[in-house]
Structure 1
Amino acid sequence: MLVLLIAARCGGAMTVTASARLRTLLASEKLSLMPCCFDGLTARLVEDAAFNVTFMSGFGVSASRGYPDVQLTSYGEMLNSAQTIVAALRRGTPCIADGDTGYGNALNVKRTVRGYAQVGCAGVMIEDQVSPKRCGHTRVKGVVEFDEAVTRIRAACDARDEFFKVTGSKPVVVARTDANSVAGLDEALRRCAAFREVGADVTFMEAPKTVDEMRRYCATVDGPKLANMLEGGATPILPPSELEDMGYTLAAYPLTLLSASVNAMAAALADLRGGETPPNLTPFPDLCEAVGFDEYWQEDDRYLFK
């Protein structure tokens, strides 16, 4: 399949935008693995590990600010985190931002999409939960009525198209529904199909509870689809090859880095509390490289007076 890459002209050269890179991935028949990040360091680690795409986890951003994922973090705080994350992705790895419910009505949704696109996010996810939203794998949630849910996604797609006309960059709209948990599979599938009809680039049916539900979703809804591989969550964790065979396009790992880091930091604190030096620490030179010192020194040397 031929893919038209959206490009921005910069200094006489053609520079492929992050959203164009993401659209190329979505057009591929191969599944893209998408570890989720929540700050500049985790974004750098994902990119350095050679993944082709990442996702700014709302759960992770909330946790890094000391809150659970129940929309206690504001749009401004989320946008600030997105700006930090995109700036840390030095090689242009596409990042999809968690836009939650859009933070209000349709006009708020448009502002959310536009704001994330302006700081360089390759895509934005908008969902149909009531506000304040909560993590899709925790307690029972609520979703807005069908028409309001579809209107949110239509507004997001309008914002995408308007941004493209002005900038030449076309952010990807990921449309999420949590209806499966509260209204059943049929309603969730109905919403995903409607989201596609109004222009969503990717659909995301959150929290299918069985492999059969996952298969039915993939067989019923057209276009790129996102699987959420949350360890310990409601959805079965499947190997990438099986997800790809089903028809998924993206496999998000939303809490893998956060869970690993919390476990490691808690163990290190326990060792310190016991008067011991924690084992398995990253050697200091490797830590400096991970946070960007080596790159900084190379740049610094270019501007030294000879």
Structure 2
Amino acid sequence: MSTTPAQQLRDLLQRTPLLLMPACFDALSAKLIEQAGFPAVFMSGFGVSASRLGLPDTGLISYGEMLNQGQNICAAVKIPVLGDGDTGYGNAINVKRTVKGYAQAGFACVMLEDQVAPKRCGHTQGKQVVGREEAFTRIQAAVEARKEGQDILIMARTDARATEGLDEAIFRAQTFATLGADITFLEAPQSIEEMQAYCQQVQGYKMANMVEQGKTPYLTPAELQAIGYHLVAYPLTLLNVSILAMQQALQHLKNGQQPEQLLSFTTLKEVVGFTAYYQEEERYPQK
């Protein structure tokens, strides 16, 4: 019996002590995550903005572009996909539209944050957050959209640590949970002690964000689980190593050389789906 992506994610959260989620930025990177055996994948706004537009994660990408990328990603994999919904792209009515659109696209969960629009990457400079009332209204609207028939989980993110301090960020996360958010996410705590305080003081599922060389201590899964986290995202790892590999390959080509690390053509075809396509093609022979 098949279940919805949202129910798949609920089941995973109930039976998995710590859900590890590398982040994708397109359908191919999502497929690679699935093929590697991970049970869920996170669609990174940073990664989508970089790969689709070649631009930084500073609020330049639109709802429609994120939704379209998400539709392709969700269609490419069978594991649940959690999607970055930024600020909800407007007022409370826009937030409800975003939740509905992400649910219809096939997402298991949508992440919504309390930054001022245009938002920016949580580990970069210049962040600002909206006031409490607007922050809470966004999550209220998202929860109400879910209650109106959208089968999707709500992840409520706060970036208040950077501008208002840890106490305000914890208060916002507590309120998000009270309003009905399924998962909370306090972005960019700056020490293990801050991570512990968040996990101890906020109820419900909590997500850690492991950004290489970011503001938050980079901990092992065992350490994160011991602190009290239930999910961990690796938002930039695949984008980072992909850029490095392409830069190195381009330098080899520029020097008239073949890149040193190449998949066999057979493996490349397998990864992108030629083998499955050929098998399906055999079911419909042409006369």
What is the TM-score with the length of structure 2 in the denominator?
0.98
Q: Which residue of 2 aligns with 1:93?
A: 79
Determine the structure 2 residue equivalent to 1:142: 128
How far is the alpha carbon of 1:305 from its aligned partner? 4.2
Structure 1: give runs of 5+ residues left out of the alignment: 1-13, 165-169
Tell me the SS of whatever aligns to 2:149. Answer: helix
- Aligned: 1:214 with 2:195: yes
Q: Percent identity?
A: 56
Alpha-carbon distance, 1:269 to partner: 0.4
User: Could you report, residue by residue, the CA deviation over 1:174-226 in whole angstroms, capped at 9, with x for unpaired residues?
Assistant: 00000001100000000000001110000000000000000110000010000
Q: What secondary structure is seen at the aligned counterpart in 1 of 2:172?
A: helix
Q: Counterpart in 2 of 1:201?
A: 182
What's the offset of the Cα at 1:163?
A: 2.2
Which residue type is aligned with residue 46 of structure 1?
I
Q: Distance in 2 between matches of 1:243 and 1:204?
A: 14
> Partners of 1:158 and 1:304 in 2: how far apart?
50
Q: How far apart, in 1, do the equivalents of 2:199 and 2:85 lie?
A: 24
Name 1:161's counterpart in structure 2.
147
Cα RMSD of the aligned pairs, angstroms, is 0.9
Aligned counterpart, 1:52? 39
- Equivalent of 2:208 in 198, 205, 227: 227
Secondary structure of 2:205 counterpart? coil
1:185 aligns with 2:166: yes
Corresponding residue for 1:79? Answer: 67
Cα deviation digits, residues 65-116 of structure 1 (max 9, x gap): 2110011111000000000000111xx2000110000000000000001001
- CA distance in structure 2 between the partners assigned to 1:305 and 1:79 by the alignment: 36
Runs of 5+ unmatched residues, structure 2 = none
Give the count of matched residue pairs: 286
Partner of 1:132: 118
Q: Secondary structure at 2:181's aligned position in 1?
A: coil
| CA distance in 1: counterparts of 2:146 and 2:278, whole angstroms | 39
State the secondary structure of the residue aligned to 1:204: strand
Change (3 A) 1:210 1:172: same
1:129 and 1:217 map into 2 onto residues whose CA distance is 19
1:140–1:182 Cα contact (<8 Å) kept = no
Q: Moved runs in structure 1, 4+ residues, more than 4 A?
A: none
Matched, 1:291 2:242: no
The separation in 2 between residues aligned to 1:235 and 1:247, in whole angstroms, is 15
Verify: 1:36 aligned to 2:17, yes or no. Answer: no
Give the equivalent residue in structure 2 for 1:300.
Answer: 281
Secondary structure of residue in 2 paired with 1:16: coil
Structure 2 residue matching 1:24: 3-state secondary structure: helix
CA distance in 2, matches of 1:203, 1:260: 28
C-alpha deviations, 1:150-174, integer Å up to 9, x for none? 110010111111124xxxxx21100
User: Residue 243 of structure 1 is aligned with which of 183, 202, 224?
Assistant: 224
- Deviation, 1:28, is 3.0
| Distance (whole Å) between structure 2 residues aligned to residue 262 and residue 17 of structure 1 | 34
**Paired position in structure 2 for 1:103:** 89
- Match for residue 253 of structure 1? 234
Matched residue type, 1:140: G
- Tell me how far apart the structure 2 counterparts of residues 113 and 229 of structure 1 sit (CA, whole Å): 25
| Partner amino acid, structure 2, of 1:75 | Y
What is the TM-score with the length of structure 1 in the denominator? 0.92
Give the one of 17, 22, 25 matched to 2:9.
Answer: 22
Matched with 2:101 is 115
Q: Distance in 1 between matches of 2:16 and 2:239?
A: 29
